[in-house]
Structure 1
């Protein structure tokens, strides 16, 4: 049987369908992405752990299962599709570093629950992707894992902390990738790399333990809304042993995404930074304006109402008190090798006694309630920039850190100022690559925020915008200084029939 060449930018749902139809083998798919990694990753540094023999073994087993299946319907939804895992979650037999040189690198004995859901859905784990240490910065430039770079401009960051995930998908080294978001770490790399990134409602995707008081959520980075919706169907499963886990939804997110959004949605707008004194780049405001025009053209109503925001000191104080403990629970072999900004965060956390911390958690919950109660009667949907800036240059976070290690966080505020608010409120939020800055050619994301548990509505509106402002044909510069067209020409350009 002669198979069509594999376009590495093929959406995951289409790859899975082609595998079920026996138009392409899981082994061929895995080899395509492994070759892409060979050619591109030395420049981008998206992967921190490769286990090619494991990948090929799993792909061969998937190919055998296709042969033995009596019907394509017997196969799981993403059977044979490769998916890299952010180096925050355990994968059995692989080390987990959390981006830290001080981490215990003993291979994990068992896979995390989220990874098991991916594997049960048929995904083939495709190595591990880079992250900043403990996910505390939206740049992955660490002693442990090195510098990760943006495929659109390797002199800039791919965002983070799911940095490698964003770079891998944008460069066609993976059809989609696992990511985690505690302050914007799905949506920020989505904006930096021209991808779709959904942070689910707090607690919707259960993990082994609640992370950072529920600020963090698991999800994926993709190129299409359909892939995001189908992957969410895989991740959302009731876990009776979890502290927070709602019942499994009765409906399918993929089916919901295929339906039209309700008519006449009330659309709110937030373009001023929630943290005073941070300017918003005109390209980021332009992404909002494009989005609003598309929504108005579709019959939705822009409302002249403001989201009641907390004062800057209250918001920053609430968020950082919780953020300081982000590295808690990480098994370390050598704590002395933790990077300076994370040592400073640990010292700040340890300076607060348990009573004061509990009071801060309670204050944060009340802050969240005020914002959500202000949202619900005013809006069905809120539109904001994803970031207040274009992707910064590599190393931009370092300014002033020699004198004050915590300057690293302050330097990162323009990247996370719009996203982190909705980690606090727990609302679902999605970044969409609706715009490209004409001056730099860099992608620019817009953030849509919904009411809690309304991922269905966000996906419907996202699909509307995907049709109105299509982005699927955009690709970062091929080659990145490498002779990729000669080395991997057979993997480029042609889609699957």
Structure 2
């Protein structure tokens, strides 16, 4: 199959070709592998599984499966393949095999997907850029000098470059929506408990992190949510299934929605005029579609939410680092300096302080629920600026040295209380101050690729819904996709 034909279809379209006997899964795989070779400099894929994928593509297929024979990539974080390393972007885990498949991987295989690789991610998904020392930076197909965002940056680069039409992703603070916005893709973060994180964990980051995908088409994401949602016997909880499958929900319009929008950074950091323009453009389009759209105040205390998000994240890094050291004998030098600092701060955080932080998560939820009593959706930029150059958001070497010394002599807790440290940490969220709200509150949210800058860079806008709002978000996304099809933009060229 020629790439020009392959890239015209989304994943459901390719599966339909397989179902009708117009193309064989091995042909699709060969095309995907060739495209992966042609775009290798993007560094989207960190592990290739060509031979096992070829065997899978040649095996008999259940053509009734929704994604029968479609090539697919999983993220190298929380999407384990039994017997293969799941590095999580870390040098400490590059040789540690996973004991079993993740629940989402099993479901993807049952849905007929042909997995042929794992995608790049920052160490333990802890950054909004994908530039791990373990694998090197993933590059944005629209401008390889710029970041893909993170932490699902490798998956977003692979989809944006046309290697696959949809790829595995997950989101603990914006990690689906950030790279989707940076790479011109659709990205939905499902609500807490909708998709299992098992079987090796009950939940990640106290339920703030969820599994999902990045895709070109809304219907692919909807069908993927149908595949992934639903209980597992080992899950700590689950959301009830929708009355109508998500893919079928797309056949119904969302109705006239009340949408409040704001563009000011919740943490007081600068917002690029292009990010503001992206929201203004979306507001006009939504109004033209018949929705009630009006400016509103930011529906949460941004600085407090950022501090509560980061403190929980630091404690999670401490848990991860200590677990890997105890279990696999890793040394401190096997982890990146930023990870070591986050873990050191987390290790010095008292249980009382962490519980106080987690209790405030509900306060943020109350604020958002009060907002949703007035509006169906909150609209904001997904990113506060277009994708910046690779390396521009990395920690300054001087700060890295100071933090390393502080961690070694036991002063990380003191360092974390200084105004300079707090300002540095908050400024690191300055590019992505809007996305953490949906994670802490457990609400669904999406980034929609409606806007491009005058330089042609993608810049998505974010919508946050209330409890069980996935179907509403998907219906609106389908309406926006029909009104302004984003696949009209040409795919980035290969190397």
The TM-score normalised by the length of structure 2 is: 0.90
Equivalent position of 2:70 in the other structure: 81
CA distance in 2, matches of 1:409, 1:156: 22
Q: Secondary structure at the match of 2:147?
A: coil
| Aligned mates of 2:369, 2:243 — CA distance in 1 | 26
The answer on 1:477 being equivalent to 2:477 is no
Distance 1:331 1:82, change over 3 A: farther
Spell out the pairing of 1:253-402 with structure 2 (5 A cutoff). Answer: 253-262=246-255, 264-276=256-268, 278-310=269-301, 312=303, 314-327=304-317, 328-329=319-320, 331=324, 333=328, 334-336=330-332, 337-365=334-362, 367-402=363-398
Structure 2 distance, partners of 1:304, 1:435, is 19
Deviations 1:317-367 (A, max 9, x none): 2111111133334635423210011100000111012232222211222x2
CA contact (8 A) 2:152 2:170 kept: yes
Unpaired runs of at least 5, structure 2? 404-420
Structure 2 counterpart of 1:55, from 53, 56, 61 = 53
Q: How does 1:230-269 map to 2 (within 5 A)?
A: 230-262=223-255, 264-269=256-261
**RMSD across aligned positions (CA):** 1.9
Which of 124, 128, 139 lines up with 2:129 in the alignment? 139
**Whole-Å Cα distance in 2 between the matches of residues 150 and 408 of structure 1?**
25
Contact 2:266/2:298, CA 8 A, preserved across alignment: no
Match of 1:149 among 139, 144, 165: 139
C-alpha distance in structure 2 between counterparts of 1:477 and 1:369, whole Å: 40
1:417 aligns to 2:433 (yes or no): yes
In structure 1, C-alpha distance between the alignment counterparts of 2:486 and 2:299, rounded to whole Å = 33
Q: Is the 8 A contact 1:428 1:452 kept in 2?
A: yes
Say if 1:399 and 1:373 are closer, same or farther in 2 by CA, change over 3 A. Answer: same
Match of 1:492 in 2: none
Q: 1:242 to 1:396 in 2, by over 3 A?
A: same
Q: Provide structure 1 residue ranges, at least 5 long, that are not aligned to the other structure.
A: 67-71, 483-497
1:442 maps to 457
Q: 1:53-132 alignment to 2 at 5 Å?
A: 53-61=51-59, 64-65=60-61, 72=63, 75-88=64-77, 89-103=79-93, 105-132=95-122
Deviates more, 1:407-416 or 1:280-289: 407-416
CA positional deviation for 1:4? 10
Contact 1:236-1:248 at 8 Å conserved across structures: yes
Partner Cα separation in structure 2 for residue 380 and residue 409 of structure 1: 32
RCO higher in structure (CA 8 A, sep ≥6): 1
Paired position in structure 1 for 2:148: 158
Distance 1:388 1:165 in 2: 21
Could you tell me how far apart the structure 2 residues matched to 1:210 and 1:270 are? 31
For residues 101-150 of structure 1, give each alpha carbon's deviation from its aligned partner in whole angstroms, at most 9, with x where no partner exists.
Answer: 11262322310111111111111112100000011111121221111100
Pairwise CA distance, 1:248: 2.8
Matched position secondary structure for 2:430: helix
Q: 1:348 to 1:32 in 2, by over 3 A?
A: same
Deviation, 1:414, is 2.6
CA distance in 1, matches of 2:492, 2:108: 30
Instruction: Give the equivalent residue in structure 1 for 2:207.
Output: 214
Q: List per-residue Cα deviations over 1:252-281 (Å, max 9, x = no partner).
A: 10111221111x3111001111111x1111
